[in-house]
Amino acid sequence: MKLFAPSYYNSFRCIGKECTKNCCIGWEIDVDDDTLNKYRELGGELGERIRQSIYKDGGGAHLKLCNGERCAHLRADNLCSLIIELGEEMIPEICREHPRFYNVYDGVCEVGVGLACPTAAKLITSANDYRPYEIGKIDIREAEEIGAELNACRAYFGAVCDFGKKASLFDTVVFADYHARVTLSDLLFDCLTRPDADEKITADAFSPCAADSTEYAYENGEARSAAALFSELEMLDSGYGEALCEAIEYGEREGEKAREFFAEFKGEFSALFHYFIYRHLLNGALDGGAHAVIKFAAISAYSILSLAQKSGKGIADEATDFSRNVEYSDTNVSSILEKAVAEEVGIGFILRILKPSDNC
Ligand code: SF4
């Protein structure tokens, strides 16, 4: 199976004990069946100690968390005692793979690093090339068979990346939104209804001049509707949901100040926008619709920048908090996508900030 990744992917290195948001603290750490079997076979005091550190619930086996919600095997110096005593092959799969995500389809696997890791977040927010390239092969047997839909989504994302290299951020968001709503939706419908739909859909299907920015008028109350997408989600940090909703409305209220901030950090906005599309497009397109994914990507990038402007913290730090609270859960993402479709949430309030004039 061909493996694709954005060009920044291979630069990722875990910084281990230097990490400020260590993934061995505060997360439920699953123990997969293969690792559990290895632990069952381990003899002596060490084997017993590891088995004692595992608990089971309806979701499977997990490593216990101790004081400060630290993994039972995280030493005081923030190094992992399992790696030190047994080697990396003896840690659970989730620990080896974090913060990577894989989208696996027939013949193609797309991999990336997720914003929930602060080191990955720095890499992602400073990237300027978002297109996935083939980086090798991977042996994965369980894959979803989706053929033509995959080609359509990959062609769409390639077209958005190419368009964004030549166009302004405002025009790129309009282009992405328009083609998700119109062209890609039609192509996906064709793929679902005609088993012989062309599997060789290319980026040419997404014409650069099709989008009409006058369709994207700003309507009062859009920011409030966008904020409502995030209410009732299960978030990790108490109070995060309220802070997020406030920040979404803050950008709308601040007008000129927000425009200046967004103009200064348009590279970060663009990197985040593309990251969310790359990570969620195909699953989301089959789930809640491609157009909902683009709204999610635009609103998420906007929220992160608004949070950063309001708090004075770095954009990468805010992106990590956003991902840990919102994106970590597939249930959260599905709920946002479904609501975005059902409640027809608009993104005119974001485009108004991205375009430094009032006439959009
Ligand atoms: S969050 Fe990222 S950098 Fe930090 S310990 Fe985990 S993988 Fe390493």
Q: Which is nearest to 2 in space by CA: 179, 119, 154?
A: 154
Q: Is 336 domain-assigned?
A: yes
Give the ligand 1 atom nearest the CA of 98.
7
- pTM exceeds 0.75, yes or no: yes
- Final residue before a domain boundary, out of 68, 97, 126: 97
Distance CA 114, CA 98 (A): 8
Tokens for 339? 């609501």
As a three-state string, the secondary structure of the chain is CEEEEECCHHHCCCCHHHCCCCCCECCCEEECHHHHHHHHHCCHHHHHHHHHCEEEECCEEEECEEHHHEECCECCCCCEHHHHHHCHHHCCHHHHHCCEEEEEECCEEEEEECCCCHHHHHHHHCCCCCCEEEEEECCCCCCECCHHHHHHHHHHHHHHHHHHHHCCHHHHHHHHHHHHHHHHHHHHHHHHHCCCCCCCCCHHHCCCCCCCHHHCCCCCCHHHHHHHCCCCCCCCCCCHHHHHHHHHHHHHHHCHHHHHHHHHCHHHHHHHHHHHHHHHHHHHHHHCCHHHHHHHHHHHHHHHHHHHHHHCCCHHHHHHHHHHHHHCCHHHHHHHHHHHHHCCCCCHHHHHHHCCCCCC
Distance 67 CA to ligand 1 centre (A): 19
Q: Is 71 domain-assigned?
A: yes
Domain containing 32: what range? 24-97
Q: Is 257 domain-assigned?
A: yes
Distance 23 CA to ligand 1 centre (A): 5
* pLDDT of 52 strictly over 90: yes
- Shared-domain flag, residues 207 and 335: yes
* pLDDT of 360 strictly over 50: no
- Shared-domain flag, residues 182 and 77: no
Would you state the pLDDT for residue 35? 94
The tally of domains found in the chain comes to 2
Ligand 1 test: best mutation among 9, 11, 12, 14, most atoms within 8 Å of CB?
A: 14
Is residue 21 in contact with ligand 1, taking CB distance under 6 Å?
yes
Distance 24 CA to ligand 1 centre (A): 8
Which residue has the CA at smallest separation from atom 7 of ligand 1?
14
Would you state the pLDDT for residue 143? 57
Mean pLDDT, all residues of the chain: 89
* pLDDT of 151 strictly over 90: no
- Final residue before a domain boundary, out of 63, 97, 131: 97
Number of Cβ within a 10 Å radius of residue 314:
15
Contact indicator for 134, 184 with CB cutoff of 8 Å: no
Contact indicator for 125, 307 with CB cutoff of 8 Å: no
Distance 106 CA to ligand 1 centre (A): 30
Number of Cβ within a 10 Å radius of residue 13:
9
Distance CA 182, CA 146 (A): 20
Q: Is 159 domain-assigned?
A: yes
Q: Is 113 domain-assigned?
A: no
Q: Is 174 domain-assigned?
A: yes
- Shared-domain flag, residues 55 and 161: no
* pLDDT of 199 strictly over 90: no
Tokens for 170? 């405002």
- Shared-domain flag, residues 273 and 147: yes
Is residue 342 in contact with ligand 1, taking CB distance under 6 Å?
no
Is residue 117 in contact with ligand 1, taking CB distance under 6 Å?
yes
* pLDDT of 215 strictly over 90: no
- Final residue before a domain boundary, out of 40, 62, 97: 97
Phi (first) and psi of residue 5, to 5 degrees: -155, 155
Distance 80 CA to ligand 1 centre (A): 12
* pLDDT of 68 strictly over 60: yes
Phi (first) and psi of residue 189, to 5 degrees: -65, -45
Distance 21 CA to ligand 1 centre (A): 7
Is residue 19 in contact with ligand 1, taking CB distance under 6 Å?
yes
- Shared-domain flag, residues 88 and 164: no
Distance CA 321, CA 337 (A): 20
Residue type, 159: A
pLDDT, average across residues 139-151: 69
- Shared-domain flag, residues 73 and 165: no
Length, in residues, of the chain: 360
Ligand 1 test: best mutation among 11, 17, 19, most atoms within 8 Å of CB?
A: 19
Q: Is 7 domain-assigned?
A: no
Contact indicator for 117, 320 with CB cutoff of 8 Å: yes
Q: Is 270 domain-assigned?
A: yes
- Shared-domain flag, residues 335 and 263: yes
Q: Model confidence over 258-300: pLDDT tens digits? A: 899 999 999 999 999 999 999 999 888 876 689 999 999 999 9
Q: Which is nearest to 170 in space by CA: 220, 141, 211?
A: 211
- Shared-domain flag, residues 93 and 231: no
Would you state the pLDDT for residue 144? 61
- Shared-domain flag, residues 59 and 206: no
- Shared-domain flag, residues 240 and 339: yes
Distance 86 CA to ligand 1 centre (A): 20
Which residue has the CA at smallest separation from atom 3 of ligand 1?
14
pLDDT, average across residues 53-71: 92
Cis? peptide before 99, omega within 30° of 0: yes
What residue has token string 């199976």?
1
